[in-house]
């Protein structure tokens, strides 16, 4: 290969390519090296240029990482016959998966040394702003000459091999890279963090200590989880003997929630060093019975695939339960598979995502995370909240579209060029299309993700709404065939409580990916209870669920009030369905909306008066569900929660 790399033998391969042991005939002594052949799965001729650019960029990263003694040096990289090759230093030694195959478990002192060795090199990687993404025993080689651990096979170079590479330099690299068992949930969803590597290291060390694998098909040979889906050293006390301090470190490394792990390798290394200082001179543990690790969660009958998390806040650090949940907040609870579906969808050319739910269900919080994820992929992002549009711009379509174009330009940091494109005899919609196609989308080949929040505001102006949403629908259709319009990705956020008689074939509300936000389930509510540092029993969670129905805003308000010491759970349950309680504004808004429609008043009266689900007219049932007041049980409906049942039964009895 390349005229001087003579292949000696095949070492292995997978979905991304093959690896060979080779000799370099151009160097004295013909030293051994490793040649990696990457095979991009490219369906479009133009994508080869993108793959070349990505390959060059990732190779430069490997050159930089190779300056560390425990990372193989990159000796060369080249492209030949539309395939890509990396030539790296050959490391003589044995991968850890071969050591593990012998069935010999390591001791506590060996585990500390192994953990320290891996974290030392990983700290360097993280300092270079690189996430490895594929740490597993096979990618950790114990070098023969000094017994040090060498980290190999960086997932970063696999960007050029994923089928998702496209014309615009976008790649779903984070979706495709990783190994089951060592890859945490957020990485599987396509959003890895430095703490994702920490999880993988923790799993490797637990495997080394116990001889159990995270991927074994035999239950008896697989690392166990507790009833909440967490890995814990408490479950392994009959398989290993370690100090409780080390167990605490390992437990934190493999937490399900990435925010509860160490942020990066440097932080984990610091914790390990502190543990070593604290235990210096201690006798090594020789009896499994001495391993005592406090249980993370109280016993609970709640079971689900989702995992509650640990308390993250004191009352002094609680977020106000209002408006959008910030990106760095510990009080945002994911509702799988909503987030991962959105992240995967936004990577697709010409994507259109429609997020709809009743008010205060977390729509804007989800939008901010979609845009943040897109930004991490190198996309340009803009978020427009239509509540910020001055009334003067809503008097005519022409003025509104000019505001729309100018607002997008300003958010992108671009000059306003309305004077250039907003002239001539073309209509407003054609001018707006021209502005996007010839200016905003032509400025760069990077995709533009446009998040439109509170689009309900436009529904109040039917003439503008019909033309504007019809225009967006036309752009989405153009994206099916025209490359430049595939750069535009749209995310709409609107409340289901607002209705507009749009022509369904001219609006964007029957195309794209529909995302409906559900209420929180019991496990997710339990999660939030823990994050508010409340020491509750399962029956208390059940009582809160019954009163709030899992409505995210209602749950947040309730927990905030209790965590701040403003009232007890018992007091809250007593006043919740009254205007004395903390939900007064929420309940009053629904009451005023209902009183504007006599048919809905009659329907909700019938629903809250019954002790079981009842069938009402389909149109009324749909509207009440869109408002979030009821839930379906077959074709019948019942109040979403006891709060709604008791409040509306009392307020509407006359």
Q: Which two tokens stand for residue 325?
A: 């949940």
CA distances from 188 to 112, 203, 252, 336 (A): 28, 16, 19, 12
Q: CA nearest 405: which of 413, 394, 416, 396? A: 416
Determine whether the annotation assigns residue 36 to a binding site.
yes
Distance between CA atoms of residues 427 and 425, nearest Å: 6
Residues 6+ apart with CB under 8 A from 568: 562
Distance between CA atoms of residues 450 and 600, nearest Å: 35
CB 475 within 8 A of CB 507: no
Count of CB atoms within 10 A of residue 634's CB? 7
Distance between CA atoms of residues 583 and 581, nearest Å: 6
Distance between CA atoms of residues 502 and 509, nearest Å: 9
Distance between CA atoms of residues 555 and 589, nearest Å: 18
Q: How deeply is 468 buried, as exposed, middle or buried, from its count of CB atoms within 10 A (0-12, 13-18, 19+)?
A: buried
Name the residues annotated as catalytic.
134
CB 345 within 8 A of CB 351: yes
Gyration radius (Cα) of the chain, Å: 29
CB 530 within 8 A of CB 311: yes
CB 268 within 8 A of CB 276: no
Count of CB atoms within 10 A of residue 172's CB? 19
Give the pairing of strands 83-89 and 32-38: antiparallel
Distance between CA atoms of residues 206 and 114, nearest Å: 11
CB 132 within 8 A of CB 192: no
Give the pairing of strands 140-143 and 83-89: unpaired
CA distances from 292 to 7, 236, 447 (A): 53, 11, 52
Q: Which two tokens stand for residue 230?
A: 């967490």
Annotated binding site for ATP: 36
Q: Which residues are annotated as a binding site?
A: 36
């Amino acid at each position: 290969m390349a005229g001087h790399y003579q292949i000696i033998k095949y070492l292995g391969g997978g979905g991304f390519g093959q690896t060979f042991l080779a000799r370099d005939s151009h160097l004295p002594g013909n030293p051994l090296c490793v040649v990696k052949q990457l095979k991009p799965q490219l369906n479009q001729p133009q994508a080869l240029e993108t793959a070349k650019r990505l390959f060059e960029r990732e190779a430069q990263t490997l050159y930089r990482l190779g300056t560390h003694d425990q990372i193989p040096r990159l000796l060369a990289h080249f492209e030949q016959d539309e395939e890509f090759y990396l030539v790296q230093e050959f490391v003589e030694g044995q991968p850890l998966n071969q050591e593990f195959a012998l069935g010999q478990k390591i001791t506590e002192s060996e585990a500390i040394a192994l953990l320290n060795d891996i974290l030392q090199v990983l700290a360097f990687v993280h300092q270079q702003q690189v996430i490895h993404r594929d740490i597993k025993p096979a990618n950790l080689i114990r070098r023969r000459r000094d017994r040090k651990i060498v980290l190999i096979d960086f997932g970063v170079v696999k960007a050029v091999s994923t089928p998702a590479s496209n014309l615009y330099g976008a790649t779903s690299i984070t979706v495709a890279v990783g190994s089951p068992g060592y890859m945490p949930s957020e990485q599987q969803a396509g959003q890895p963090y430095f703490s994702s590597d920490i999880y993988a290291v923790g799993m490797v060390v637990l495997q080394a200590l116990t001889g159990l694998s995270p991927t074994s098909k035999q239950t008896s040979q697989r690392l166990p989880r507790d009833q909440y889906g967490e890995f814990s050293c408490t479950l392994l006390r009959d398989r290993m003997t370690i100090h409780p301090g080390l167990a605490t470190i390992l437990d934190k490394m493999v937490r399900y929630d990435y925010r509860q792990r160490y942020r990066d390798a440097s932080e984990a290394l610091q914790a390990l060093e502190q543990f070593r200082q604290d235990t210096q001179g201690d006798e090594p543990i020789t009896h499994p019975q001495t391993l005592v690790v406090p249980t993370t969660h109280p016993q609970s009958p709640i079971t689900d695939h989702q995992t509650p998390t640990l308390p993250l806040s004191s009352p002094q650090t609680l977020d106000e339960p209002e408006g959008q949940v910030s990106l760095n907040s510990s009080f945002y609870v994911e509702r799988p598979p909503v987030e991962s579906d959105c992240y995967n969808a936004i990577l697709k050319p010409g994507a259109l995502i429609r997020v709809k739910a009743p008010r205060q269900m977390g729509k804007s919080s989800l939008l901010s995370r979609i845009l943040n994820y897109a930004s991490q992929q190198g996309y340009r992002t803009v978020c427009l909240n239509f509540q910020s549009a001055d009334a003067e711009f809503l008097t005519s379509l022409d003025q509104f579209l000019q505001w729309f174009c100018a607002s997008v330009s300003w958010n992108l940091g671009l000059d306003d060029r309305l004077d250039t494109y907003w002239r001539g005899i073309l209509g407003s919609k054609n001018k707006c299309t021209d502005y996007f196609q010839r200016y905003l989308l032509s400025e760069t080949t990077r995709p533009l993700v446009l998040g439109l929040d509170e689009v309900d505001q436009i529904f109040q102006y039917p003439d503008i709404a019909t033309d504007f949403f019809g225009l967006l629908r036309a752009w989405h259709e153009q994206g099916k065939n025209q490359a430049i319009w595939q750069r535009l990705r749209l995310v709409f956020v609107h409340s289901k409580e607002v209705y507009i008689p749009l022509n369904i074939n001219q609006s964007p509300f029957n195309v794209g990916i529909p995302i409906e936000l559900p209420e929180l389930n019991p496990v997710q509510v339990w999660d939030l209870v823990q994050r508010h540092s409340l020491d509750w029993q399962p029956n208390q969670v059940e009582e809160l669920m019954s009163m709030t129905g899992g409505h995210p805003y209602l749950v947040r308000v309730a927990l905030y009030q209790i965590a701040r010491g403003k009232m007890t759970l018992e007091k809250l349950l007593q006043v919740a369905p009254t205007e004395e309680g903390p939900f007064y504004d929420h309940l009053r808004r629904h009451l005023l909306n209902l009183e504007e429609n006599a048919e809905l008043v009659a329907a909700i009266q019938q629903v809250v008066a019954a002790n079981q689900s009842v069938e009402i007219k389909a149109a009324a049932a749909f509207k009440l569900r869109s408002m979030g007041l009821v839930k379906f049980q077959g074709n019948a409906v019942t109040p979403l929660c006891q709060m709604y049942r008791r409040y509306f039964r009392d307020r509407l009895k006359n």
